[in-house]
Structure formats: structure tokens, C-alpha cells
Amino acid sequence: MSFKLTVTSDLPSPPVRLTTLGMIPERFRQYCALQIHAGPGDAFFGMRACLSWQETKRQEVEEAIVNLWGGANHSIPLLSVRSGLHLLLQTLSLPRGSEVLISALNIPDIPAILELHGLVCIPVDLSINTLHVDMQQLRSAVTSRSRMIFIAHVYGARNDMTEIVRIAREHGLFLVEDCAEALDSSQYQGHPDVDVSLFSFGPIKYATAFQGAIMKVKEEELCRRLRKQHARWSGQRTVSYFFRCLKFFILTCLQRPFPLWLIIFILRLLGVDHQRLFVGLVRSFGRHVSPHHLLRKVARRPCLALLRSMLVRMERHLNGGNQDNRTCGMKMVKLLQPLVGSNILLPGLDASSHSFWIFPILVKNPRSLVTKLQADGIDASTGSTQITLVKRTRRRRTKGEEEEARSRRRGEEEVEKGARRREGGEEEEEEEEEEERLPCVKWMMEHIIFLPVSRYESHERLKRIASRVMEHVRPEAMATMSDLRPWRR
């Protein structure tokens, strides 16, 4: 069954137009490392879809979506990737204390959801060259309590899952592939032997519908159970999707070099950190007061208007209409080449595929480089995404230990001081352990910055960014063995 919808393709390409017209001088233009890959027309389409109540069309739209992803027996449209993970864990009901071997970079909500289901996260280190998990460490992390492997492709780098599928089969582990950041022009729809693959249509993704996700499921029986559980969830309120689209209508209108420059200029005068503000604005679920609050927010079925937006974006995506940053990313790699390996490292450059969804570089002094680039009008940042290091789940205290801690709190000041010293010591020990277990990821997080490299930039602009970066990092070679150690792994 096919479902016909029309929408104006209004992808933002104004930076190029403005450059051609030469209307606004370069110093009054600003580009961000984060992009909303949609235009006001897409947001307007979402708002319009909220106004046409035709719930009878729901099944038709859902069918059209799943038909693009292997059919109703193998895919489910969802509110978000986080919703998909929560739904999966509700359905699988793994025993509490089961271990999940998880690639060590992800957004904080992913390990939080795993832990809320009583699971223990065991992070596995990544190789800096590929951003793929360290196979040796993955193998040695398997224990009798392991039940799941959870692998995320990050920053637009994607790696072949075949070896991981083999490890999962050998040990009878459930395998989840988090492709939230990997819905690029390669049209990858998940490894055929992975149990579940999750794709996001969230605000800053290439095929954004400002929200939404799709879950691809290998086993028909599991897909049926997931659908049954999903049907029990309440629906998303159309009005909340309407206001989300309205917000992104405004943001996409402002996502042009001159308005951006002006906004950032005013925010700086007011002493507001614009990067923090932007990351906050494009967050899918805002701040949550508690982890349980997060679960309540994600456990909803998408409204019809969101499904319609997703369908339009998917059709455009599968027709090759979703361009990614591949070409300009490779251009930037070439421009930086003279200092790559000595002063700059490029994570994920050896991955099986790289769309440069975001452009991270590793340098010796990230903070000072960001300050210098910002002074040059280049909006580099140290935290363009929420991606961070996944921490190992702390072992829960036994009843006896809980009692002891309570009496310690009640106890005299000296005892309390001692306890604090002990707790501080424990934290330090954990930090040290982490450094030993996750040397590459930890090192990477300490040296990373993100450059504003996207397909909306002109070649001239890319050249300017590259030359400023190289000028600043040239005297800062990462020449010591300990700095280069992770790169060589």
C-alpha cells in the first residue's frame, strides 16, 4: 500500500547563497558545529500534519513506514531510540544484575535506561582509528552474567558488525546496534544478523522529523511481542509535537549565518553560553528530574503527525534526497592532512564508513584551541553532542553495607569524616580503574573538539577553518609516546 504526501523540500542552503551574493561580510557570519538538517518547510509540514485529524489513516501511514524497513514483522516506528530501548528491555525482562557489554561512548540516557531495568553496564573501550569496540576487550569481558551486547556507531563513523555478531552467537548474547547517528546517505538499514537495530529521526539527525525512531527486529516472534507491549503504552499528545515543530520552525529560520552571528553576539553580551543553550534547545526530552521521569517521558507511542513527518523524511532518505557531510568531511581531512598524526588526530577515519555527521578532532590543548577559534569567529566546541563516556554500573550495596553507611551518617563527626575519606578514596579508585580499562575513550574525551564542518559550508570557508586550526596547533605537537599511545592501538 502506498501513501502519498507532498512536502516542500526546504533544506537549508543559505550559507552558499549568501556567499555568492556577497551580501554580508564574512565577519558577520556564524556557522555552528551542530546542524538541524531540515528547513522551516519541514517544520511547517509537521505543524500542518498536527492540524489534520484523521486517526483512520494511522494504520495506512504505519504500514507505509514499516514497508520501507522490512515490513510489519520486522520493524516498529517509535517515539525515539530511547523508547525503543525501554520497550525492548520491558519485553525481554532480563534477570536483574545481568551484564550488558556496551561500547564506551553514548548519550547518558542509554546506560541510565539499562540501569533502570536492573542491568549492569560494562563499558568496552574503542579504537580511536575506527571508533569500533576493542574486540579483545569485548571477548574478555564476557562472563556467565553477560546477556547483551550494545554497540553504538558514533559521530557518523560506522563499522562492520560481522565479528561482533560472531561473538554474540558464540556466547548466546542478545545483540543491539544503536544506529542513531548512522542514518546517512549510505542507506544502511542495520546488519541482517543483529537482533535489533535502532535508527533515530531526532532533532539533529540527517533525516530529522524533529523526533521519532525506527526499530528493526530480526526475529518475527520478538517483533510481535514488542508490538504487543508497545500497544499498551499511551499515545504522544499531538499538541506536544505541534509545539516541538513550532520551536524547530523558529530555530531553522534562525539557522542562517547572519542571524546566528547576531544571536551569538547578543548572547555573549548577556554572558550566556550559546553552545550550552543550543544543545539544551535541541534535546529530545529536555531535562528530567529523575531517571524514572525519563522512562515516563519515553514510554509513549508516536502521534499520527509525527508518523507522517517520519514517512516523508524516510521516503526522501530512501530516494537519495538526504545528503550527508561525507564530501565536505573528506575535503576537510585533506586540508588538515599535513598535521594529521603529529598535531591532530581524526577519530574514526579508518571506519568502514564515515559520513562526518559531526567533525571531531583530537588535539593537545582542546580548550585553548576552542577559545582561539571562537575569537576567529569559528564556532568550535568541546561539547557539541551529549555523547560521553559510559561508566561501569556501580555495584549495589548489600543490606549490611547499607546499614553500615546509615550508621556512619548518624555517627559522630570524626566517623563521618573518615567515611567521607573512604568514599572519596573509592571514587578515586574507580577513576583509576576506568583509566586502565578505557584508556582510548578516556584520552579521547580529554582531547576532543568539534569543528563546524558541514555540507552547507563553502569550500572557501572550509579552507579558512583548516588554516586557522593548523596555525594554532602547529606549535602543539602531540609528540610524546604517551599522547600517541591510544592512536597506535
Contacting residues toward ligand PLP, per CB under 6 A: 80-82, 106-107, 110, 152, 154, 178, 180-181, 200, 202, 213, 284
Give least dist CB 358 to ligand PLP, A.
10
- Judged by beta carbon, residue 146 or residue 284, the one nearer ligand PLP is 284
**CB-nearer residue toward ligand PLP: 110 or 131:** 110
Query: Minimum distance between the CB of residue 112 and ligand PLP, rounded to whole angstroms?
Result: 11
CB of 302 to ligand PLP, least distance (A): 11
- Minimum CB distance to ligand PLP, residue 111 (Å): 11
Phi, psi of 235 (to 5 degrees): -85, 155
Residue with smaller CB distance to ligand PLP, 199 or 261: 199
Q: How far apart (Å, rounded) are the C-alpha atoms in residues 177 and 88?
A: 12
> Quick one: 106 or 384, whose CB is closer to ligand PLP?
106
Of 332, 345, 310, nearest in space to 183 by CA: 310
Compute the C-alpha angle 485/487/489, nearest 5°.
Answer: 75
Q: Residue 201 or residue 443: which is nearer to ligand PLP going by CB? A: 201
Per-residue cell: 390: 559510559
Phi and psi torsions of 361, nearest 5°: -130, 155
Minimum gap (Å) between residue 191 Cβ and ligand PLP: 16
| For helices 291-298 and 81-92, angle between their N-to-C axes, nearest 10 degrees | 100
For the CB of residue 178, give the shortest distance to ligand PLP in the complex, in Å: 5
Give, to the nearest 10 degrees, the angle between helix 304-318 and helix 238-254.
Answer: 50
Q: How far is the CB of 180 from ligand PLP (least distance, A)?
A: 4
Residue 87 or 378: the one with the smaller Cβ distance to ligand PLP is 87
Q: Which is nearer to ligand PLP, 81 or 345 (CB)?
A: 81
Q: Which is nearer to ligand PLP, 82 or 461 (CB)?
A: 82
Closest distance to ligand PLP from the beta carbon of 475 (Å)? 34
Give least dist CB 198 to ligand PLP, A: 7
Residue 129: CB minimum distance to ligand PLP, A: 19
Q: Which is nearer to ligand PLP, 131 or 369 (CB)?
A: 131
Nearer to ligand PLP, 78 or 312 (CB): 78
CB of 353 to ligand PLP, least distance (A): 16
* Residue 82 vs 147, nearer CB to ligand PLP: 82
Q: Cβ(211)–Cβ(230) under 8 Å?
A: no
